[in-house]
Structure 1
Amino acid sequence: MGSRPLPNCKYLMLALDHRDGFKKLMNPENPNLASKERAIEYKKQILESLRDKFSACLIDEDYGLPAYKSITPPITTPYLLPIEDTGYRNEDGERITVVKKTVEQLKDLGASAVKLLVYFCPNSKSSNMQIETAKKIVQDSHENGLPVFLEIVTYNSNLEDRVYNSIKEFLKEGVKPDVFKIEFPGSEQQCISVTKLLGDTPWILLTKGTDYSMFCDQLEIASKNGCQGFLAGRSLWQELLNMKDGKEKEIFLKDTLPSRFDEIKNIVNSYTTQNEISI
């Protein structure tokens, strides 16, 4: 489809790029004891469970990519890779994105798109730095023929319009990714405001680890009011990492997880006639 996603399409995507956070879910008391091999195996199981469901997946280089490549028969669905390092650098309580890779490196790894996560607090000391990081990654990605999914996660603010205002700051400085991946904007009216603000630029919902049923409620409100899909992660699969019983895991992977993905796909499909798109 070329380097740019289409504005009139929907995005039904799996998020599985978690790294340190994934190990914390595997072993909350001592994440360092969670082995790389086990993390890869968990991600392989999740990918296999949903391989026929998602239009694209977001995976990481450390665990997700080896899992993706180990599956037979091979998954042909395209994948995004994160360009930032796991977590963030803390500077006086502010969260600074650390870019780990170049766009060229992600392209060499087979990525069909770039994902950049930016923690953002409007009017903070780091806000301009975060915006400039996003601007550079968007420019580099487009020069290399790859679309960009910009994920904005707000912090240190309880204002209802914090998501809207954060997006507005990026747009004001000329940052226009191909897709905005954002938190639930907060209400029906805020969803409408975000849709109007973005015009023909699509926005999709992230789960942020919320309870699955709550995410469904958020997705329904968002989809009614302009959201064009999701990049869904922890809310779908996080319970798996705490299950001890083999039979329980088997049922979750065979029935629960695919049913959940079907349900959220149906929510999006109920409110849009747009074409499902890959990347």
Structure 2
Amino acid sequence: MNTLTTPERRGLSAISTPGGRMLIVAADQRNSMKAVMADAPGGPDGISRAELADAKADLVRYLANHAQAILLDPEVALPDIIDDGVLDRDTALVVGMDASGYETVDGLRYTRFVPGMTARRVRDLGGDVAKMLFYTRPDKQGADSEVARQIRDVVRECSEEGVLLIVELLTYRLDDESEEDYAAAFPALVTDGAKLAVECGAKVLKLQYPGSAEACAAVTEAAAGVPWAVLSAGVDHETFVGQVATAVANGASGAMAGRSLWKDSLSITTGAREKLLTARALPRLRELKAVLDG
């Protein structure tokens, strides 16, 4: 297990329930958040940055302030949500360091940083914890690969700044790979990605659901004591609750839920958002917390 420093332990505590499980509302999405606001005049392309920022603020007010933590981006949401007093003092802030999209080099995907984002900038924005996304194909990328170097560098930078880093991993299908071959390889790709990240110093992981109880147990073994949380990946709430229950029963340490909570609650209209987030998304959050804490 990669040992947490004292400030990193404080960060992990801040994003965890009283039962010790991570519970974070993910709201750092940008284009995918616009896409679910289907009632916007002109569709997603017609949504302005200000309108998206307002939606994120309402998501914090009516949903995330009831969670242990909220994951937000520094491009649209921050620092306004802090400066305007929207975020509750008892809800921890996780700051996403990654920009939308990715670059492709020799068929492999690489994440980009939000310009100017550093561990110190996370602190300046009021963050308790940082998050960085990495695309991984561990069957093509080993400990000497560029993505491994990037993981090591960000882990080291955040640790030196006293900021806990959540390393998010997404695996993906290669251009010359069939859907069937990718589906067969998927559990091992998630497991081996976790192993690679831990070897690079990761202290907390955010991972795709690997597909089964057996695969979750394999991920837990590969993580070697490093806590890992399941990401919702846009599935419906009922599916995600089942995935979380299976994952926690097999060693996972929490959940980071985004669209599974709020994708059908983000109207372009403020009044409708409040009603939907309160009546639809908030009960889902409470159900997820009950599953996590048993």
CA change 1:217–1:163 in 2 (3 A) is same
Counterpart CA distance in 2 for 1:125 and 1:228 is 26
1:194-233 → structure 2 map (5 Å cutoff): 194-233=219-258
For residue 118 of structure 1, give the secondary structure of its aligned residue in structure 2. Answer: strand
The answer for the alignment partner of 1:56 in structure 2 is 69
For residue 167 of structure 2, give the secondary structure of its aligned residue in structure 1. Answer: strand
Counterpart CA distance in 2 for 1:222 and 1:208 is 15
TM score, norm. by length of structure 1: 0.86
Do the aligned residues in 2 keep the contact of 1:61 with 1:81 (CA within 8 Å)?
Answer: yes
TM-superposed CA distance for 1:118, in Å, is: 0.6
The answer for the alignment partner of 1:97 in structure 2 is 111
Calculate the aligned-residue CA RMSD, in Å. 2.6
The answer for the alignment partner of 2:151 in structure 1 is 134
TM-superposed CA distance for 1:74, in Å, is: 5.0
For residue 85 of structure 1, give the secondary structure of its aligned residue in structure 2. Answer: strand
Counterpart CA distance in 2 for 1:24 and 1:91 is 27
- What are the ranges of 5 or more consecutive residues in structure 1 without an aligned counterpart? 271-279
Identity of aligned residues (%): 26
CA change 1:126–1:155 in 2 (3 A) is farther
The equivalent position to 2:92 in structure 1, one of 72, 78, 93, is 78
For residue 161 of structure 1, give the secondary structure of its aligned residue in structure 2. Answer: helix
- What are the ranges of 5 or more consecutive residues in structure 2 without an aligned counterpart? 1-5, 174-181
CA change 1:22–1:244 in 2 (3 A) is closer
TM-superposed CA distance for 1:51, in Å, is: 4.2
Aligned residues: 267
The equivalent position to 1:168 in structure 2, one of 195, 198, 208, is 195
For residue 221 of structure 2, give the secondary structure of its aligned residue in structure 1. Answer: helix
The answer for the alignment partner of 2:283 in structure 1 is 259
What amino acid is the match of 2:56? Answer: K
The answer for the alignment partner of 2:102 in structure 1 is 88
Do the aligned residues in 2 keep the contact of 1:59 with 1:65 (CA within 8 Å)?
Answer: yes
TM-superposed CA distance for 1:86, in Å, is: 1.5
Do the aligned residues in 2 keep the contact of 1:41 with 1:67 (CA within 8 Å)?
Answer: no
The answer for the alignment partner of 2:48 in structure 1 is 35
What amino acid is the match of 1:80? Answer: V
The equivalent position to 1:189 in structure 2, one of 206, 214, 219, is 214
User: Which stretch shifts more, 18-27 or 141-150?
Assistant: 18-27
Counterpart CA distance in 2 for 1:70 and 1:83 is 19
The answer for the alignment partner of 1:10 in structure 2 is 21
Question: Once the two structures are superposed, what CA deviation does each residue of 1:218-270 show, in whole Å capped at 9, x if it has no partner?
Answer: 111111111111111111101123x4788764432222111000000011111
The answer for the alignment partner of 1:276 in structure 2 is none
The answer for the alignment partner of 2:3 in structure 1 is none
TM score, norm. by length of structure 2: 0.82
CA change 1:112–1:249 in 2 (3 A) is closer
